[in-house]
Amino acid sequence: MFLLITELSSNFGIILIIILLLSNQKIFKQMILKEDMDLKGKIFLSLLFGGLGILATYSGVDILGAIANTREISIILGGLLGGPFVGTAGGLIAGIHRYVIDPNGVTSLPCGITTIIGGVFSGYLYNKTEFRERWKSGILAGLTIVSLNMLLVLLMTKPFELAIQIVKTILIPMELINTVGIVAILLLTENIFRDKDASAAKQAEIALDIADKTLPYFLNPSKESYVEICRIISKYAEADDVLISNKTKVVSSSRLLTQEENDTVIDIIKNVEALRSEKVIQINDLTEKYNQFKYKSLAASPIYENNKIIGFLLILFSRNEKLAYKEEVLFQRLSRLISTQFELVKIQQLKKEASRSEIKALQNQINPHFLFNALNTLISFVRIKPEEARELVVNLSDFLRYNIENSMKLININEEIKHVQSYVSIEQARFGERVSVTYDIDQFHRVFYVVSQKI
């Protein structure tokens, strides 16, 4: 028994090494960690775990015509990590293979059936257990499937005495190695998920930092503001350049582009826009098409307004760069952040325009009435007080010029006082001593700027 445990442990070690090597690859992490796995990913995992099951069959130990093996490790892991599709498909691959290679073997049929059931059962447990509790499901599945295998061997193998001898020899080693192996690899993959959580927290922190540092520039939009936004993103993205563009030209860049670089980027933008992709677009080997361009790769993510693409956020690298999944997600979030900020700025501008329109409407109601009265007074003064009429014309022209030139501007309070004085002079010409104004303004307040108020 000890020798058999040693042999099975060696077989498990082969599976463990293969999974360890694959777990460090981006594609394996992405397929395991994505909540919505595409069909290609599921097929890949099915072939992977089914193939590991076949490997376990070939590396198994012959015991009285039966094969003691670690096949259940691969198939149960496929179901618990990849879900029902991967578990069932992997089980079918390894189970059918087990029967086909030795259709007349004493345990071929029960072992093939058990392998398929193991894939289906582990896939069922996938949807019933939180990932961090799946090691418990691994224990349950390992013990259950190996025990079922032994039961089917007893029921289907002839003669019965041979079945008894096989079960006595392989039951404990297979229960032990398969169950321990499943739990060990599940705990290993849990570390991948912990890394994912830590990475997600880091990405969220980066996104919040970028949002916090760029917000003041979005609130005061200008060409210089957008340059600072690009520089901030470039720092966090560790990129050589970051650009914001519309569909036809570069709006801002974290560094000053030469005319040739600008023309190249515009051509790239046109190619990216032609793809009309809602996801991050990555392009490598740019220097093959643009010989003088110093950047070798870029990533582009669309910027939206009212659910329509209006431009792109572009990150450029002087080396060929393949964004990891987490980096791609962060990049998408940044472009959405910019989209949201652009829309908020537009909303604020619309609010300001609406406010200005309301004020204009009010002013238009007041000005005609005032102007009509002022002109009547002027007509009267031209006839009876020509000297004062000239002064009244000057005050009225100053008053109207001020209204036209300073509409909705921030102006020095001293200019506003002069405006009021022109108005008061006109009204005093109409009403005489009935209008009297006292100005009491200290020097401290004379340095302030106020919004021009039309009278």
Residue 285, pLDDT score: 84
Helix axes 325-384, 160-219, angle to 10 degrees: 20
Handedness of CA 408, 412, 414, 415 (dihedral sign): negative
Confidence of residue 53 (pLDDT cuts 50, 70, 90): very high
Residue 133, pLDDT score: 81
Residue 58, pLDDT score: 93
As a whole number of angstroms, the distance between CA 219 and CA 225 comes to: 9
As a whole number of angstroms, the distance between CA 326 and CA 333 comes to: 11
Bond preceding residue 221 cis, omega within 30 of 0: no
* Pairing, β 241-246 against β 308-317: antiparallel
Q: Which of 110-124, 178-192, 316-330 has the lowest mean pLDDT?
A: 316-330
As a whole number of angstroms, the distance between CA 425 and CA 441 comes to: 19
Residue 142, pLDDT score: 93
As a whole number of angstroms, the distance between CA 84 and CA 436 comes to: 90
Q: Which of 42-56, 95-109, 310-324 has the lowest mean pLDDT?
A: 310-324
Helices (H), 220-258: 223-237
Q: Cβ distance 313 to 252 under 8 Å? A: no
Residue 392, pLDDT score: 77
Average pLDDT over residues 19-31: 69
pLDDT digits (tens, 9 = 90+) for 310-363: 888 888 888 887 776 667 777 777 888 788 877 777 777 777 777 666 666 655
Domain boundaries 220-348, corresponding CATH code:
3.30.450.40
Nearest by Cα to 139 from 187, 183, 185, 82 = 183
As a whole number of angstroms, the distance between CA 428 and CA 406 comes to: 24
Q: Cβ distance 93 to 138 under 8 Å? A: no
Residue 124, pLDDT score: 93
Helix axes 84-101, 71-82, angle to 10 degrees: 160
Which residues partner with 281 through β-bridges?
Answer: 300
Q: Name the one residue in this structure whose structure tokens are 């349950």.
A: 140
Domain boundaries 2-200, corresponding CATH code:
1.10.1760.20
As a whole number of angstroms, the distance between CA 371 and CA 363 comes to: 12
As a whole number of angstroms, the distance between CA 310 and CA 374 comes to: 51
Task: Take residue 299 and report the two structure tokens written for it.
Answer: 């990533």
* Pairing, β 297-305 against β 308-317: antiparallel
2-200 and 220-348: identical CATH topology? no
**Greater pLDDT, 208 or 411:** 208
Q: Which of 26-30, 72-76, 199-203, 282-286 has the lowest mean pLDDT?
A: 26-30
Q: Cβ distance 169 to 107 under 8 Å? A: no
Task: Take residue 424 and report the two structure tokens written for it.
Answer: 């008061």
Q: How far is CA 82 from the centre of its chain?
A: 24
Average pLDDT over residues 6-21: 84
Residue 24 DSSP SS3: coil
pLDDT digits (tens, 9 = 90+) for 363-402: 555 566 677 777 777 777 777 777 777 787 777 777 777 7
Residue 365, pLDDT score: 53
Backbone angles phi, psi at 46, to 5 degrees: -60, -45
**Greater pLDDT, 123 or 133:** 123
Largest CA distance in the chain: 139
As a whole number of angstroms, the distance between CA 121 and CA 25 comes to: 28
* Element at 423 (helix H, strand E): helix 413-431
Residue 455, pLDDT score: 58
Backbone angles phi, psi at 437, to 5 degrees: -125, 135
Cβ-based burial of 153 (10 A; exposed 0-12, middle 13-18, buried ≥19):
buried
Percent of the chain past pLDDT 90, that is, above it, reads 25
Backbone angles phi, psi at 45, to 5 degrees: -65, -35
Helices (H), 127-159: 134-156
Enumerate the domain spans of the chain: 2-200, 220-348, 350-451
Whether this model's pTM surpasses 0.85? no
Task: Take residue 266 and report the two structure tokens written for it.
Answer: 């515009």
Residue 379 DSSP SS3: helix
As a whole number of angstroms, the distance between CA 215 and CA 209 comes to: 10
**Greater pLDDT, 277 or 292:** 292
Q: Name the one residue in this structure whose structure tokens are 């000005």.
A: 367
